[in-house]
Amino acid sequence: MDIREAIRIHLQWKVELEWMLCGKQPLEPGQLAQVDACEFGRWLQGEARSLYGDAAALQQAVEEHARFHAVCSEVAGCIQDGRREDAARLLSPGGDFSRASHAIVEALDDLARLTSRRAG
């Protein structure tokens, strides 16, 4: 798994959610909440556990990844319920999405550092 690519993909979610807010992307709040719906989530639940065991960086990545998906689902749910202002607030700078996005990137950076230490 390329952790840098996982970061890029997760940052792209803001664009996807904004498209949902504009009505240009289908809404699937339940699917967005599933941490194993994305390739990175499946990797975290499988191969990463065998690679990193109970490393704190892995546990943090798992927790932040779940939180990230929960916020994505919340945004989609707000849109689906017609609460566009709430969705926009979640997506705004400093909103829940921004905080969750920042936290998952930090957790993935920590995991990438652990990977590079193990490789080096």
d(CA 117, CA 40): 21
How does pLDDT run across 82-96, given as a tens digit for each residue? 999 999 999 999 999
CA dihedral 116, 69, 14, 102 (to 10 degrees): -50
Domains with residue ranges and CATH for the chain: 3-119 (1.20.120.30)
Handedness of CA 17, 18, 19, 20 (dihedral sign): positive
For helices 56-80 and 3-21, give the axis angle rounded to 10 degrees: 10
Polymer length of the chain: 120
Global confidence as pTM = 0.86
Instruction: Tell me the percentage of the chain whose pLDDT exceeds 70.
Output: 96
Closest CA to 70 of 103, 106, 47, 48: 103
How does pLDDT run across 73-84, given as a tens digit for each residue? 999 999 999 999
